[in-house]
């Protein structure tokens, strides 16, 4: 994302004695970074890069494959569709 015309391309901030840096409000608003937003900090050739951290860690199929054991015959797609529909009806029966 490039700098927008209404935002300065360069601002100055100070590192506190606790190592904290205040990001300008205009940048926080543009990025929609509220208090508590997790950021990744990357060292680059040009300096430090801040990015919003993903909500969930990246996983590989091997990390989750077969994590829920099933002892029984395989279910068909039709069986699975019927099961999902039955559960949806059960959950919304009182609506």
The per-residue pLDDT of the chain, averaged, comes to: 86
pTM for this prediction: 0.51
- Place 4 in a pLDDT band, splitting at 50, 70 and 90: low
For residue range 39-50, list pLDDT tens digits in order.
999 999 999 999
Q: Where are the domains of the chain?
A: 61-91
DSSP for the chain reads: -PPPTTS-S-----B-TTS-BPPPHHHHHHHT--TT--EEEEEETTEEEEEEPPSS----HHHHTT-S---SPPPPHHHHHHHHHHHHHHHTTT-
């Amino acid at each position: 994302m490039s700098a927008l015309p209404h935002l300065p391309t360069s601002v100055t901030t100070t590192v506190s004695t606790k190592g904290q840096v205040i990001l300008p409000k205009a940048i926080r608003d543009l990025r929609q970074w509220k208090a508590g937003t997790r950021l990744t900090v990357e060292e680059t050739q040009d300096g430090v890069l801040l990015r919003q951290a993903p909500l969930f860690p990246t996983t590989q199929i091997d990390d989750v494959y077969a994590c829920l054991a099933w002892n029984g015959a395989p279910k068909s797609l039709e069986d699975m569709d019927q099961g999902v529909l039955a559960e949806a009806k059960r959950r919304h029966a009182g609506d």
